[in-house]
């Protein structure tokens, strides 16, 4: 009667992106890493990963080099890139509602934000969530072996 099929709030695409960034963080300062290398180690469909990495490049998180010896690499040191920035690049807003989103704000069609209780609770939630995601960086995403 109440059957849920394991929904997550982050899409598969964002999960793949975070896994890939984690891998690139681990191999930072080793030069360009092949897409195929990331795909193999993190079990991500190759062509899908290509589009994800390209998108991260467009968002100034990654850089790339073509041809032999090429590949992808972080534009800045892992500690300089927040998890919030990475999620926003792939997923879009982090807030639970557009009317409390800092980076993707949109006014509610039918309620007054000054009096809306839902808005107030969601704004507090956003603050709590962002306190973590803005502070944590790609360095924190790295695996501890």
Partner DNA sequence: ATATTAGTCTACCAAATAAGTAGACTTAAA
Partner DNA sequence: TTTAAGTCTACTTATTTGGTAGACTAATAT
Q: Which does 36 bind (CB under 5 to 8 A by kind): DNA, a copy of itself, none?
A: DNA
Integer Cα distance of 72 and 29 in angstroms: 11
Cβ-Cβ contacts under 8 Å for 37 (sequence gap 6 or more): 71
104 sits near DNA (criterion: CB under 7 A) = no
3-state secondary structure of 82: strand
136 sits near a copy of itself (criterion: CB under 8 A) = yes
Cβ-Cβ contacts under 8 Å for 80 (sequence gap 6 or more): 137
Among 22, 24, 49, 74, binds a copy of itself (CB under 8 A): 22
Nearer to a copy of itself, 40 or 68 (CB): 40
CA atoms within 13 A on the CB side of 11: 12
Q: List interacting residues with a copy of itself (CB under 8 A).
A: 1-2, 4, 6-10, 15, 18-19, 22, 42-43, 58-59, 83, 91-98, 101, 104, 106, 109-111, 115-118, 120-121, 124-125, 128-129, 131-133, 136, 140-145
């Amino acid at each position: 009667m109440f059957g849920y099929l394991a929904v997550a709030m982050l899409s598969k695409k964002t999960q793949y992106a975070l896994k890939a960034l984690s891998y690139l963080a681990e191999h930072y300062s080793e030069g360009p890493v092949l897409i195929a290398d990331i795909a193999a180690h993190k079990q991500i469909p190759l062509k899908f990963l290509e589009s994800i990495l390209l998108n991260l490049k467009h968002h100034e998180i990654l850089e790339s080099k073509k041809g032999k010896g090429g590949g992808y690499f972080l534009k800045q040191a892992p500690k300089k890139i927040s998890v919030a920035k990475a999620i926003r690049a792939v997923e879009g807003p982090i807030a639970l509602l557009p009317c409390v989103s800092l980076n993707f704000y949109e006014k509610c069609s039918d309620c007054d934000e000054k009096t809306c209780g839902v808005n107030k609770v969601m704004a507090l939630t956003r603050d709590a969530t962002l306190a973590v995601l803005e502070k944590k960086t790609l360095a924190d995403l790295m695996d501890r072996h």
